Amino acid sequence: MQRTGYSFFWLWAASLAFVSSGLGQENAKQLLSAAYAKTKDAQTVDDFHAIIDLCQQAQSLDLTPASSKYSKQLLSWALNRRGEAYVEQAAGALEGGDADRAADLDKRALADFEAAIKEDPTRWKAFHNRGVSKAVAGEYEQAVEDFSKVIELKPDYANAWFNRGEIRYELAQHEQAIDDYSKAIELDPTDASAVTSRGHARVQLKQLAAALADYTRAIELDRGNADALVNRGDAYLALQNWSEAAADYRQAIALDENSGRAYRSAAWLMATCPDHRFRNVEIGVQAAERAVQLLGAEDLEALDAMAAAYANAERFAEAAETVAKAIKLAAGKDVDVLTTRLELYSTDKPYRLPKTETALIDAGTESR
């Protein structure tokens, strides 16, 4: 009798467990269905939080292997999207001057991206978002790792190649950056930003003719962009093609009269060009002062240009005073360069760009 009673109790308990399991699985299915329904119009942090809560409730129940996998994927999606919503809020807080709140929201976003990856290690968008967060925080090596993972998971995502190129540029890995930009351009030939950035990397490697071609292509892709013209003008300046540089600066200012970069570069050309035909005392000073007004009194290059413009106008005391302000803001090799200019201005001498033939040879043009 004892054995029979025990067997009956065991069968009853097993039956109850089976029924409970079935009910748990049905409840989990309903929770996941409700969570999925909310994804269709979810936009806010609260919306994504509700989806996350439903998924976590489902995961606390007895799930089938298929439901468990689905719950992780859905939870990962919601965590990643909530992280993106936090990033948007952080941008708004920063724009409103609340840096502390922005920093807190960025931390929340990063935590969500990391949680999304933990739930679903194949969610490439979460890796990409975490890479951006790491890059913003200055954690460049970790950012490169995340963008590389995105490329592994989704090699046709152009932004991952572009962003990895941007970080490699910051790390002075210019050849690798060019490779990444080139792949981004291959995937999206209309991406003016990638073309421009490749031009910048080529400038760093002194591949000036190739950089010039990139800047010209960027102008074609983004007509009306004053910065694109300034970039090409600066390349022409480095190549000592003075007339082309001047033309690009003039056009940039015509497109955007508040382009501080355009005024700064134009002032530099008019103050320092070794060819007197491109120097202009009065307009050069006006352009330099306008550049400082637009870019701010702590813009090192704007101060350098204004000092050069004053020296070109034989206002050497003002030139020396201005470059001295720049020296206080400078670091590293910039200090040495600016100190040399200060010595010139202190002896009533203007600064002139040195004439070189190598740049012109690189451009494939004749000296003017």
The structure tokens 């097993």 sit at 14
Give the 3-state secondary structure of residue 166.
helix
Non-local CB neighbours of 59 within 8 Å, separated by 6+ positions: 28, 68, 71, 72, 75
Q: Mean pLDDT throughout 262-272?
A: 98
Percent of the chain with pLDDT over 70: 90
Which class would CATH give 241-368?
Answer: mainly alpha
Topology match between the domains 43-150 and 241-368: yes
Q: Which two tokens stand for residue 78?
A: 């919601």
Dmax over Cα atoms in the chain, in whole Å? Answer: 118
Question: 185-229, pLDDT tens digit by residue?
Answer: 999 999 999 999 999 999 999 999 999 999 999 999 999 999 999
Above 90 in pLDDT, residue 4? no
pLDDT band at 24; cut points 50, 70, 90:
low
d(CA 71, CA 56): 8
Question: 279-294, pLDDT tens digit by residue?
Answer: 999 999 999 999 999 9
Let me know the angle formed at the C-alpha of 298 by 134 and 334, rounded to the nearest 5 degrees.
Answer: 80
Q: Mean pLDDT throughout 338-345?
A: 97
Residue 25: the pLDDT is 74
Q: Give the torsion sign (CA, 166, 171, 174, 176).
A: negative
Q: Which of 1-5, 32-36, 150-154 has the lowest mean pLDDT?
A: 1-5
pLDDT band at 62; cut points 50, 70, 90:
confident
- Give the chain's mean pLDDT: 90
Q: Mean pLDDT throughout 163-177?
A: 98
Above 60 in pLDDT, residue 56? yes
C-alpha pair distances (Å), 366 with each of 344, 351, 352, 356: 31, 24, 21, 12
Taking the CB of residue 15, how many other CB atoms lie within 10 A of it?
Answer: 10
Q: Mean pLDDT throughout 28-38?
A: 91
Q: Mean pLDDT throughout 256-260?
A: 97
Above 70 in pLDDT, residue 366? no
Question: 94-142, pLDDT tens digit by residue?
Answer: 999 999 999 999 999 999 999 999 999 999 999 999 999 999 999 999 9
Question: 148-159, pLDDT tens digit by residue?
Answer: 999 999 999 999
Closest CA to 73 of 38, 117, 25: 117
Above 50 in pLDDT, residue 21? no
Homologous superfamily, domain 43-150: Tetratricopeptide repeat domain (1.25.40.10)
Residue 26: the pLDDT is 81
Enter the pTM of the model.
0.84
d(CA 17, CA 85): 42
* Domain range summary for the chain, segments of one domain joined by +: 43-150, 241-368
